[in-house]
Amino acid sequence: MDIPVLTLDGPSGAGKGTVSRLIAQQLGWHYLDSGAIYRALALELTEKDFLHTSVAEIVEVALAMDLVFECGDDRLVKLNGQDVTDLLGLESTGNNASKIAAIPEIRAALLQKQHDFKQAPGLVADGRDMGTVVFPDAKYKVFLTASASKRAERRYKQLKQKGIDANLLEITADIQERDQRDSERQFAPLIPAADAVYIDSSILSIQAVVEEVLSLVR
Ligand code: C5P
């Protein structure tokens, strides 16, 4: 059976996570948060000085990771049996994830974990290279972006809501640094797939973006 895949790629803070989750819920499809996989690996490595850990060792850790996403009313992510949901959301985890995500061997090692999410009746896949590398044959592809200031503002509000101390200037700088690293890396950089529909969410509500994406599928 041909399982439909909808890919949503874009820079950090564009609203991909929220939009993807709502769409997956409405369609009754599975949801892949590929960023969480890179973040989980970054967490696994925080014990080590990963910039000085060999790539082969990191690949071994990547392959051994036991990562479970539990989708109830609230999202729960377990890494080797431990609830790491809050730790995954930290800015520092995202930054470390972006550093290891630039290494091609590590990306290759995480490919199978991502492919495993493609299950009936369908998959919404959220990330940076979903439509270009991981699911190049996806039936529906979206590139979701927003202005850098809007993305920083959203991220700031998100962190505050979670009770995490945040500074708008620092977040803006972090987002810019991460986007630059993600866009300029040699392997699987953040670029729209040639056949992706481009949506700028700067002045659109979440609901408007959800409707626009759903109209592609329906
Ligand atoms: O989307 P999220 O902010 O959780 O991703 C964290 C980091 O993981 C990104 O900045 C990016 O470097 C990396 N990532 C990636 N490819 C993906 C998803 C995330 O390189 N498909």
pLDDT in tens, the chain (218 residues): 799 999 999 998 899 999 999 999 999 999 999 999 999 999 999 877 776 789 999 999 999 999 999 876 678 999 999 999 999 988 889 989 999 999 999 999 999 999 999 999 999 999 999 999 999 999 999 999 999 999 999 989 988 888 888 899 999 999 999 999 999 999 999 999 999 999 999 999 999 999 999 999 98
What are the domain boundaries of the chain?
Answer: 5-217
Closest Cα to atom 4, ligand 1: which residue? 35
Q: Which residue among 5, 9, 34 is best mutated to probe the pocket of ligand 1, counting the most ligand atoms within 8 A of its Cβ?
A: 34
**Side chain identity at residue 124, one-letter code:** V
DSSP symbol at 74: S
Q: Please tell me the distance between residue 80's alpha carbon and the centre of ligand 1 in angstroms.
A: 20
Closest Cα to atom 10, ligand 1: which residue? 98
Q: Within 13 Å, how many C-alpha atoms sit on residue 189's CB side?
A: 8
Q: Which CATH number is associated with domain 5-217?
A: 3.40.50.300
Q: What is the per-residue pLDDT for 73?
A: 67
Cα distance between residue 161 and residue 150, in whole Å: 17
Q: Please tell me the distance between residue 149's alpha carbon and the centre of ligand 1 in angstroms.
A: 19
**Total residues belonging to the chain:** 218
Closest Cα to atom 16, ligand 1: which residue? 128
Question: Beta partners for 6?
Answer: 124, 140
pTM: 0.94
Structure-block tokens of residue 186 = 């040699």
Closest Cα to atom 9, ligand 1: which residue? 98
List, in sequence order, the alpha helices (H) in 90-146: 91-100, 104-115
Residues with CB under 6 A from ligand 1: 12, 34-35, 38-39, 94, 97-98, 101, 127-129, 178, 182
Q: Please tell me the distance between residue 163's alpha carbon and the centre of ligand 1 in angstroms.
A: 23
